[in-house]
Each structure stands twice: as structure tokens, then as C-alpha cells.
Amino acid sequence: QVQLVQSGAEVKKPGASVKVSCKASGYTFTSYYMHWVRQAPGQGLEWMGIINPSDGSTSYAQKFQGRVTMTRDTSTSTVYMELSSLRSADTAVYYCARVGVSSGYSDYWGQGTLVTVSS
């Protein structure tokens, strides 16, 4: 069965960086793009960007350009999302979510990783 398992909660200070991992299993890793979506406490869903695990190509939401980097490791079927220059407004649950190659919706989601930014 398809599973996306994310790394554990993080607490970071303002100005630091955080790297969240998402390990995929139960399907061919390189056949499906992966979104990263975040959700601030009590707020809605916000798309951050997308990575193609096959070739590592990425597209980021303009809001996060210059601060976010998405990478993958095909040997471990893992995608990563690194966000730098953290501020309190980045406190949120970060999700990875699988996307069909010829679609844009997400059929499987990770459990989420809470990132707390606090001094």
C-alpha cells in the first residue's frame, strides 16, 4: 500500500533552516511527482512547490522562491523540503502529497510534520 512517512516535529529559532523528509513506499517512486503543502495553525492549505522525483526538477510558489529547496534521493525513495530564514509565520504543519504524473491533485498525503519557529 502507498505510504508517505514524514520526519518528526522540529523546533527552530528565527533565522534558522529546517529540512523535512518524506519517505515513500508501495509504489514506483519516480513515477509520481510530489507536492509540498503547509498549514499554519487554524488556517487553510498553502501550496509551496512540486518536485519530479524522476529528474529532480522543481517548481516553487513565488512566495517561497529563494527560501525553499526541494530535493530527492532515489536510492531511498525520499523527498526533502528545506526552508531557510525561518520566521514565526513559518510555524505550520508541512505535508508531502503524491501527485499523479498527468494530474495535479494529491491522492496520498504524508502524516504531516509540525515545524515550530520560536525564539
Partner 1 sequence: EIVMTQSPATLSVSPGERATLSCRASQSVSSNLAWYQQKPGQAPRLLIYGASTRATGIPARFSGSGSGTEFTLTISSLQSEDFAVYYCQQYNNWYTFGQGTKLEIK
Residue closer to partner 1 (CB basis): 6 or 77 = 6
Residue closer to partner 1 (CB basis): 9 or 16 = 9
2 lies in the site for partner 1, by CB under 8 A: no
92 lies in the site for partner 1, by CB under 8 A: no
Segment lying near partner 1 (by CB under 8 A), choices 9-17, 55-63, 65-73, 74-82: 55-63
CA angle 58, 84, 40 (to 5 degrees): 85
Is 81:70 a contact under the CB 8 Å cutoff? Answer: yes
Is 92:66 a contact under the CB 8 Å cutoff? Answer: no
Interface with partner 1 (CB under 8 A), residue from 47, 55, 56, 80: 47
Q: CB atoms < 10 A from the CB of 51, how many?
A: 25
